Structure 1
Amino acid sequence: MESLSIARAPESLDQPAAPDLPANIIGRPSHLARQYASQLRATSLKSQQKLPRGVKHTLCKRCDTILVPGSTCSKEIENKSRGGTKPWADVLVVKCGVCGTVKRYPQVKKRTMKLVDRRRHADDAAKTEVAAG
């Protein structure tokens, strides 16, 4: 007759049921997390559903690593416009720490109207004020 083995509960509740992870694995991207991210992307493509912008910004497009600032990626704001004089030209640069892929996201700021448009707008406002008053 075959004997059945019964799983025993840990002797102490303070001990974790799973063994501790080695020190070299802690802080590295998990293979399982990358696999889930890949499946998430594949499912959204197959079902023709767009992933939310926040989700897309947290996944590396090349290696499917979850991008955590300071851990698996680095983020910085860059402005290459004539020495950074144009505030609407800011770009968030995200670099994956695993594969080195760089993603660039424009940081949209409301741009001021050109001088000609500002004068035209002011003239139109003055004309409506005179006509009303």
Structure 2
Amino acid sequence: MARSRKKNKAVARSIAQERIEYLFSLAKTEFPTNPEMSKRYVSLARKIGMRHRVSIPSELKRTFCKSCGSLLVPGNNSRVRLKGNSIIISCLDCGNIKRYPYGKEKSE
């Protein structure tokens, strides 16, 4: 019985991962016409990830604001700046700021 339960969880997690990616693609296509709908798609994707304990991939994680839940599109509702060794992404809806390091190469 335990094996089938583990198998079902693995199947559910893979389906959840596919749905998260699909919802983010829908949010990106819907943003120019209806930003509120894209915000709803992002929130659904986050809920699915939390329910099934699936982490959102890092390339998708950088595309939404954790504070207000909106999809971040540079030029429309976000500002991207390079300062020192970090990328600074500011949400223009809520004012939240995210910083990501870049450019540090490992020396041998």
TM-score (norm 2): 0.65
SS at match of 1:77: strand
Q: Which residue of 1 aligns with 2:96?
A: 101
Q: Could you say which residue in structure 2 is the equivalent of 1:126? A: none
Task: Report whether the alignment pairs 1:50 with 2:55.
Answer: yes
* Distance in structure 1 (CA, Å) of the matches to 2:77 and 2:69: 11
Deviation (angstroms), 1:109: 2.2
CA RMSD after TM alignment:
2.1
Moved over 2 A (4+): 26-29
Is contact 1:27-1:71 (8 Å) kept? no
Between the aligned partners of 1:97 and 1:48, the Cα distance in structure 2 is 29
Identical amino acids, percent of aligned pairs: 27
Q: Which amino acid aligns with 1:32?
A: M
Q: Equivalent residues in 2 for 1:1-133 (5 A)?
A: 30-79=35-84, 90-112=85-107
Rounded Cα–Cα distance in structure 1 between residues aligned with 2:42 and 2:76: 17
Residue-pair matches, total: 78
Question: Which one has the largest radius of gyration?
Answer: 1
Unaligned runs of 5+ in 2: 1-30
Q: 1:111, CA displacement in angstroms?
A: 3.7
User: In 2 relative to 1, CA 94–57 (structure 1 residues): closer, same or farther, beyond 3 Å?
Assistant: same
Q: Distance in 2 between matches of 1:32 and 1:101?
A: 21
Distance 1:30 1:51 in 2: 21
Q: 1:74 to 1:93 in 2, by over 3 A?
A: same
